[in-house]
Amino acid sequence: MINGQRDLAVDVADRGLNYGDGLFETIQIRDRVPLLWDRHILRMRLGAGRLKIPFDDALEAAYLADFTQLIAASKPANAVLKLLLTRGITQRGYKIEHTLPVTRISRLSSAPDMTRLQREGIAVVLCATQLARQPLLAGIKHLNRLEQVLARSEWDQPDITEGIVCDTAGHVIEGCMSNLFWIKDKVLYTPLLSMSGVEGVVRNLLLALCKCDGLLEIREGFYVKQALLNADEIFLSNSIFDILPVISIQADYSEESANFTPVDFTLGPYTKALQQLLQQHYLKEASV
Amino acid sequence: MINGQRDLAVDVADRGLNYGDGLFETIQIRDRVPLLWDRHILRMRLGAGRLKIPFDDALEAAYLADFTQLIAASKPANAVLKLLLTRGITQRGYKIEHTLPVTRISRLSSAPDMTRLQREGIAVVLCATQLARQPLLAGIKHLNRLEQVLARSEWDQPDITEGIVCDTAGHVIEGCMSNLFWIKDKVLYTPLLSMSGVEGVVRNLLLALCKCDGLLEIREGFYVKQALLNADEIFLSNSIFDILPVISIQADYSEESANFTPVDFTLGPYTKALQQLLQQHYLKEASV
């Protein structure tokens, strides 16, 4: 749906296409209910503030109305909702017209079944592509995603689910489509996303749940690759697959030499405990 | 025109919209002829190589056929042709399908009259927005343009034509929509664009013409703002306005204090000579 109309096409002059001038969210729909709706909308609002795109309550209501209409027409109860927001249509030039109506896009598509991977864990690679350090765009889920496209193009093996990327200063940051956590000596580590990366909705929720529960001490900072390789447990999070344990790092494409020996990890108790915490939170949210 | 058809809308699943996964060119059309066509197509090819988007001779021929059809239907003899190339349409996820047909877009629009500004020069500001350093994307004209949108949003005064941006390491790099040159003691300086910025077609042509002609010694490198402020002459280049002399730097939004005193520059002999060299090149090219 585009601006509330059933449509499959956007104007060729839309700034989303021409400049990546906008934001998006990817929301898990379970039993016809969008998970973490408020958190997704909040992140979009924060991103809109950063990019100076207007975002008012009427816009949130309009996205919700889009979803209600889309899910009513949908057979599967589990799905993925993608929201896109662009600054709108201008004829040429980077200049912003502040009175411009935004473009609102809502798409519902089928959900991949992630249960086996959630249970058994995944294999990943370390990518050679490095993320630029840009505090103006770090954290938000904007439409300038060429770095992710390049990183994702580094592997083709179907048994590799995700690639982990570092920034240009050599810190591990995130997966191509997910956030990164690891556990070492009862401390939960996750990269600080003030210079690059996307602050995932599930990532921030996990940090909050972990703080509440007192399960693990939390450290957010800039860490080198070796810290990850020395971890006791590693997992990735995003809004569609929740938490995927990493059971193996198969290759490091950033090294000139082909000498990298695959490293295996156990699917450990803390990762399982966090998976449970998250599912309990979903149940609690659904019962409100 | 989209993929050879008269159309104004692109598929909502196009990767250009969803990830900025593509490239563009903006070409000056003078007397129904595209200026520097070969150089624009060459830059697009280089960009496509960097992004692993297929670009063959048939694609160039298709863009040329688009143009022929568009200009035949156009009343004005002077115009602006915008070419867009995206990786095409995929349903979800960053992964590239290598057999994917690309999306080819050609748009013809009216040309702004730049003759007065070319003759009299322009006022500019120094922007606070800094460009990230990303060698993987530097130089090419890709669709991830949020940094330019943010920089352009810093000023609204109609008498300010352009804003100059630095990178996160404090080097002057370019204008929001143009390349930057200055002259000091008979040397032509221009920022090195290996870490950020777009290598303009007119920029590279000017360097080649200047080398041929021997008019000025050329230095390409990383320079701080002060080097620019100490210049004898400053000018900007792009494919639409060719060369615009800078006659004043009005403000520096990157400074906390409001103490910046506007700096004026003369519209000097070297800038005029380069304007002439470029126009002579266009005439020579047209007569071939």
Which of A111, A137, A166 marks a domain boundary?
A111
What's residue A86's pLDDT?
98
Q: Are B150 and A136 in contact (CB under 8 A)?
A: yes
SS3 for chain B is: CECCECCCEEECCEHHHHHCCEEEEEEEEECCEECCHHHHHHHHHHHHHHHCCCCCHHHHHHHHHHHHHHHHCCCCCCEEEEEEEECCECCCCCCCCCCCCCEEEEEEEECCCCHHHHHHCEEEEEEEEEECCCCCCCECCECCCHHHHHHHCCCCCCCEEEEEEEECCCEEEEECCCEEEEEECCEEEEECCCCCCECCHHHHHHHHHHHHHCCCEEEEECEEHHHHHCCCEEEEEECCCEEEEEEEEEEECCCCCCCCCCEECCCCHHHHHHHHHHHHHHHHHHHC
Q: Are B250 and B261 in contact (CB under 8 A)?
A: no
**Interface check B104 vs A, CB under 8 A:** no
- Are A21 and A161 contained in the same domain? no
- Are B134 and B263 contained in the same domain? yes
- The torsion angles phi and psi of B142, rounded to 5 degrees, stand at -90, 175
**Interface check A149 vs B, CB under 8 A:** yes
Distance from CA of A81 to the nearest CA of B (A): 11
**Interface check A10 vs B, CB under 8 A:** yes
CATH number, domain with residue B159 = 3.20.10.10
- Are B232 and B218 contained in the same domain? yes
Q: Are A245 and A234 in contact (CB under 8 A)?
A: yes
Beta bridge pairs of residue A41: none
- Are B155 and B232 contained in the same domain? yes
What's residue A98's pLDDT?
84
What's residue B255's pLDDT?
80
- Catalytic: which of A26, A184, A272, A285? A26
The distance of Cα B272 from the centroid of its chain, to the nearest Å, equals 20
User: Is A19 within 8 Å of B146 when comparing Cβ atoms?
Assistant: yes
- Catalytic: which of A25, A86, A103, A141? A141
Which two tokens mark A178?
């997910």
Which of B64, B80, B111 marks a domain boundary?
B111
- Are A49 and A89 contained in the same domain? yes
Query: Average of pLDDT values for B1-11?
Result: 94
What's residue B92's pLDDT?
77
* Chain A 228-257, residues with CB within 8 Å of chain B CB atoms: none
- Are B104 and B129 contained in the same domain? no
pLDDT category of residue B259 using cuts at 50, 70 and 90? confident
What's residue A257's pLDDT?
64
Which of the pair, A255 or B28, is modelled with greater confidence?
Answer: B28
**pLDDT > 80? residue B134:** yes
- Are B107 and B164 contained in the same domain? no
Which two tokens mark B160?
């300010």
Exposed, middle or buried: residue A185 (CB in 10 Å: 0-12, 13-18, 19+)?
exposed
Q: Would residue B26 count as lying in a domain? A: yes
Distance from CA of A193 to the nearest CA of B (A): 15
Q: Would residue B7 count as lying in a domain? A: no
- Are A282 and A158 contained in the same domain? yes
Q: Would residue B154 count as lying in a domain? A: yes
What's residue B91's pLDDT?
84
Catalytic residues of B: 26, 141, 174
What's residue A131's pLDDT?
98
- Are B142 and B99 contained in the same domain? no
pTM: 0.97
The residue segments making up the domain with residue A243 are 116-287
- Are A207 and A246 contained in the same domain? yes
Distance from CA of B246 to the nearest CA of A (A): 19
Output the CA–CA distances (angstroms, integers) from residue B271 to B84, B124, B216, B237, B242, in the order listed: 31, 16, 11, 11, 11
* Chain A 197-216, residues with CB within 8 Å of chain B CB atoms: none
CATH number, domain with residue A49 = 3.30.470.10
Asked if A26 is an active-site residue, the reply is yes
Q: Would residue A8 count as lying in a domain? A: no
User: Is B20 within 8 Å of A153 when comparing Cβ atoms?
Assistant: no
Which of B111, B140, B164 marks a domain boundary?
B111
- Are B135 and B217 contained in the same domain? yes
Structural domain total, chain A? 2
What's residue A255's pLDDT?
80
For A149, which of B21, B129, B147 is closest by C-beta distance? Answer: B21
Q: What's the pLDDT tens digit per position in A211-256?
A: 998 989 999 999 999 999 999 999 999 999 999 999 999 999 998 7
Residues with pLDDT less than 50, chain A: none
Q: Would residue B5 count as lying in a domain? A: no
Which of these, A8, A237, A208, A37, lies nearest to A117 by C-alpha position?
Answer: A237
Q: Would residue B1 count as lying in a domain? A: no
Q: Are A97 and B152 in contact (CB under 8 A)?
A: no
Say if the ipTM goes beyond 0.90. Answer: yes
Q: Would residue B9 count as lying in a domain? A: no
Residues of B in contact with A47 (CB under 8 A): none
**pLDDT > 70? residue B257:** no
- Are B144 and B282 contained in the same domain? yes
